[in-house]
Homo-oligomer: A and B are copies of this chain.
Amino acid sequence: MPTQHYRTETYLARNSVGYLLKRTHSQLADQLEPALEALGFTFTQWVVLMHLRDGLALNASVLCTQLRHDSGALTRVIDQLEARDLVRRERSRKDRREVQLQLTAAGQATVEAAIPAVVERLNFALGGFSAAELEALTRLLTKLTGMLEGLGAHQVAATPHGDAADRPREAGRSGSRS
Interface residues of A (CB under 8 A from B): 2-8, 11-35, 37-40, 43, 47, 50-51, 53-54, 56, 67-68, 113, 115-131, 133-134, 136-138, 140-145, 147-151, 154, 156-157, 159, 161-167, 169, 173
Using known A-B contacts A39-B161, A115-B11, determine if residue A24 contacts B145 with beta carbons closer than 8 Å. Answer: yes
- Residues from chain B with a CB closer than 8 A to the CB of A22 are 25, 29, 43, 47, 68
B38 touches A2 (CB 8 A): no
B123 touches A6 (CB 8 A): yes
A148 touches B27 (CB 8 A): yes
A119 touches B6 (CB 8 A): yes
Majority secondary structure, A binding face: helix
CB distance from A16 to the nearest CB of B (A): 7
Q: List 16 A-B contacts (CB under 8 A).
A: A3-B129, A17-B137, A18-B28, A18-B32, A21-B21, A21-B24, A24-B141, A27-B144, A33-B165, A33-B169, A34-B167, A34-B169, A39-B161, A124-B157, A125-B151, A129-B144
A30 touches B123 (CB 8 A): no
- Residues from chain B with a CB closer than 8 A to the CB of A129 are 3, 5, 143-144, 147
* Cα distance, A163 to B107, chains bound together (Å): 18
* Cα distance, A85 to B46, chains bound together (Å): 42
CB distance from A174 to the nearest CB of B (A): 9
Nearest chain B residue, comparing its CB with the CB of A48: B13
CB distance from A133 to the nearest CB of B (A): 6
- Residues from chain B with a CB closer than 8 A to the CB of A56 are 13-14
